[in-house]
Amino acid sequence: MDKIPILRMGPFLLVTIQIDLYDRLALNLETDLINMVHKTGARGVLIDISAVSIVDSFMGRILGNIASMTRVLDAETVVVGMQPAVAITLIELGLSLHGVHTALDVERGMALLQTKHSLDDEMAGDDADDTE
């Protein structure tokens, strides 16, 4: 099993990271996610890392990459379920996950995406009003 499954949940995609992200697996995940966002028109990506107990700078960079790539395709990325020890390590490594949204669990992450989603729609509506 050298692929991490991407689950579609309405307008969002959900990925659960359960195994160590070595090079090829991480690159596959990036490619698969971007293709999936493009194919499904997903508005958000949830990455659950509750099973991740050890984090390094590579993992931090991968999460940042995914967030940047999906943003170009107009989808927001939310990292959920981070363990306290992982948060401590990330900050001690100097990785503040800039540009990546975070939430305590999948439900809150989904609520965050839904808020952003409806805010986007409202702003699009406002823009349309402005052009009148």
Which residues are at the interface with a copy of itself (CB under 8 A)?
1, 3-5, 7-10, 14, 16, 18-20, 48, 50-53, 81, 105-107, 110
Are the C-beta atoms of 106 and 81 separated by less than 8 Å? yes
CB 104 to a copy of itself: min, Å? 11
3-state SS of the chain? CCCCCEEEECCEEEEECCCCCCHHHHHHHHHHHHHHHHHHCCCEEEEECCCCCCCCHHHHHHHHHHHHHHHHCCCEEEEECCCHHHHHHHHHCCCCCCCCEEECCHHHHHHHHHHHHHHHHHHHHHHHHHCC
Q: What are phi and psi of 85, to 5 degrees?
A: -60, -35
CB 1 to a copy of itself: min, Å? 5
CB 7 to a copy of itself: min, Å? 5
Nearer to a copy of itself, 4 or 34 (CB): 4
CB 72 to a copy of itself: min, Å? 26
Nearer to a copy of itself, 41 or 125 (CB): 41
Nearer to a copy of itself, 67 or 106 (CB): 106
Nearer to a copy of itself, 8 or 68 (CB): 8
